[in-house]
C-alpha cells in the first residue's frame, strides 16, 4: 500500500529513479512530460499489465518415515531391495522373468494391503478428451507440442494414479525404520 504523502526520503528516491528512467527511456520521458502538462495519454503499443503471479509456495521437506516403512514392506513381501541391488547382467532372461514374478506378486500385495489407488482419469487410454481452462495441472501433465492456452484437445496416454486411502501399519515405539531388512545370522 502506498502512503498518500510520501516522506522526504521516499520523494528523493523517486526523483532519482525517475530522472534515470527519463534519461534512458524516451517513451517514459514522453509520458512524464504529458503528465506534467495535465494530459492523459494512452499508448496503443503499450502491452496490457500482466496479471500478478501467484506466490510460489516454499518447498517443504518430506519426512522419511513413511518412505522407509514402505521400502521395508516391499523388502519383506517382495525382496525388492535384494532384486534391485542385484547385478542381473549374468542371468538369462528366463531366470530374470522368474524372479520378477516373485517381486511383482509381493509388490502388488503391499500396494493392495496398504493403499487404495484409483485412476486420475476414468477414460480408457487412447481416448480423446478436452482439458478446459483451469484444469488441475498437478493431476494432469500435458506432453507433446504444447502451444497456446486451454482448452487443449488430446489423447490420454496414461490415466494416472491417485492414492485415495493409506493404511500403513502402526509402528512400535522402538522400531528402527532405517533397518529395511535385518541381517540374518544362522547358528
DSSP labels for 110-137?
Answer: HHHHHEEEEES--SPTT-EEEE-TT--T
According to DSSP, the β-strands at 152-155 and 161-166 are unpaired
pLDDT value of residue 106: 96
pTM above 0.75, yes or no: no
pLDDT value of residue 11: 66
Q: Cβ(68)–Cβ(175) under 8 Å?
A: no
Residues of the chain with pLDDT under 50: 1
Residue 75: count other Cβ atoms within 10 Å of its Cβ.
18
pLDDT value of residue 2: 53
Measuring CA to CA, how many Å separate 105 from each of 27, 116, 119, 134, 167?
70, 17, 20, 39, 19
pLDDT value of residue 121: 97
pLDDT value of residue 27: 82
pLDDT value of residue 24: 75
pLDDT value of residue 40: 64
Separation of alpha carbons 7 and 19, rounded Å:
18
Reading the block at residue 136, the C-alpha cell is: 488441475
pLDDT value of residue 20: 67
Amino acid at each position: 500500500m502506498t502512503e498518500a504523502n510520501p516522506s522526504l526520503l521516499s520523494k528523493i528516491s523517486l526523483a532519482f529513479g525517475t530522472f534515470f528512467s527519463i534519461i534512458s527511456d524516451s517513451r517514459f520521458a514522453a509520458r512524464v512530460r504529458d503528465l506534467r502538462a495535465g494530459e492523459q495519454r494512452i499508448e496503443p503499443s503499450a502491452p496490457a499489465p500482466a496479471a500478478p503471479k501467484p506466490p510460489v509456495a516454499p518447498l517443504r521437506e518430506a519426512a522419511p518415515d513413511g518412505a522407509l516403512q514402505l521400502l521395508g514392506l516391499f523388502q519383506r513381501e517382495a525382496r525388492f531391495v535384494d532384486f534391485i541391488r542385484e547385478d542381473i547382467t549374468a542371468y538369462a532372461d528366463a531366470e530374470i522373468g522368474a524372479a520378477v514374478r516373485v517381486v511383482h506378486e509381493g509388490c502388488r500385495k503391499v500396494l493392495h494391503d496398504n493403499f487404495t489407488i484409483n485412476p486420475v482419469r476414468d477414460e480408457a487410454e487412447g481416448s480423446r478428451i478436452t482439458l478446459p481452462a483451469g484444469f488441475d495441472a498437478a493431476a494432469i501433465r500435458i506432453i507433446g507440442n504444447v502451444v497456446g492456452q486451454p482448452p487443449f484437445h488430446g489423447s490420454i496416454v496414461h490415466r494416472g494414479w491417485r492414492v485415495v486411502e493409506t493404511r500403513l501399519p502402526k509402528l512400535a515405539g522402538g522400531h528402527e525404520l532405517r533397518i529395511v531388512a535385518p541381517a540374518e545370522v544362522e547358528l
